[in-house]
């Protein structure tokens, strides 16, 4: 039985975690992701990442549970997943020609000891100037409604950018693997250790 649990229903996060070649289970937590009044983007992703892991804690004793959440920060506002294609078009139109910072919260909860670590990673995206037609075609083809910022970097979304800036490109997809590996090692689970 795997000792590791991913608290996410995201296919992209599962594909990233698969790269570590560790056995794990996954389950989608059910939490309210509504930002609290005055909550900063970093506080929001910390709270949601940890909340997702904690929501599964009773069902997974003696496990390490990974929680993660992401928001786009633009013009002083935290933006999550678009509600529909109209909202996705509006987000991408706002981002056109601009820099957008993505914050990805990461939590690792050890249900055996009750200890947890929470952090976040940032990644900046500089969008090229996009036409309304390009935005409409992109959304029609990729349907990125489950993604903060209304794009999938691992797919056709790469065509929207002028450049990317950050330490770990996996952060932008939704699971900062470099930081996750460090947290796993601290918790006694080395991805390169003996299996």
For residues 184 and 100, give the distance between their C-alpha atoms in angstroms, rounded to a whole number: 29
Question: What sign for the dihedral angle of Cα 146, 149, 150, 152?
Answer: negative
Evaluate whether 87 touches 146 at the Cβ level (below 8 Å).
Answer: no
For residues 190 and 170, give the distance between their C-alpha atoms in angstroms, rounded to a whole number: 19
Find the catalytic residue in 32, 69, 110, 167: 69
Judged by DSSP in three states, 58 sits in helix
Q: Which residues pair with 67 in a beta bridge?
A: 107
Task: Measure the CA angle with vertex 174, ends 87 and 143; round to 5°.
Answer: 35
Evaluate whether 177 touches 154 at the Cβ level (below 8 Å).
Answer: no
Q: Choose among 58, 50, 87: nearest CA to 72.
A: 87
Residue 125: Cβ-neighbour burial (10 angstroms; 0-12, 13-18, 19+) = buried
Judged by DSSP in three states, 125 sits in strand
75 is catalytic: no
Residues forming the active site: 69
């Amino acid at each position: 039985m795997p000792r590791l649990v991913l608290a996410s229903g995201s296919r992209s996060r599962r594909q990233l975690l698969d790269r570590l070649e560790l056995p794990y289970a996954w389950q989608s937590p059910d939490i309210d992701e509504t930002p609290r009044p005055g909550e900063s983007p970093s506080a929001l992703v910390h709270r949601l990442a940890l909340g997702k892991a904690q929501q599964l804690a009773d069902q997974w004793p003696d496990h390490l549970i990974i929680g993660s959440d992401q928001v786009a920060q633009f013009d002083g506002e935290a933006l999550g997943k678009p509600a529909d294609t109209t909202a996705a078009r509006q987000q991408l139109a706002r981002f056109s020609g601009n820099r957008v910072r993505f914050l990805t919260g990461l939590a690792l909860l050890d249900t055996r000891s009750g200890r947890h670590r929470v952090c976040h990673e940032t990644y900046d995206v500089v969008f090229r100037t996009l036409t309304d037609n390009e935005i409409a075609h992109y959304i029609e083809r990729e349907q990125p409604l489950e993604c903060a910022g209304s794009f999938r970097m691992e797919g056709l979304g790469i065509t929207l950018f002028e450049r990317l800036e950050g330490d770990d490109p996996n952060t932008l997809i939704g699971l900062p693997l470099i930081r996750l590996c460090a947290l796993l090692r601290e918790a006694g689970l080395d991805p390169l250790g003996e299996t």
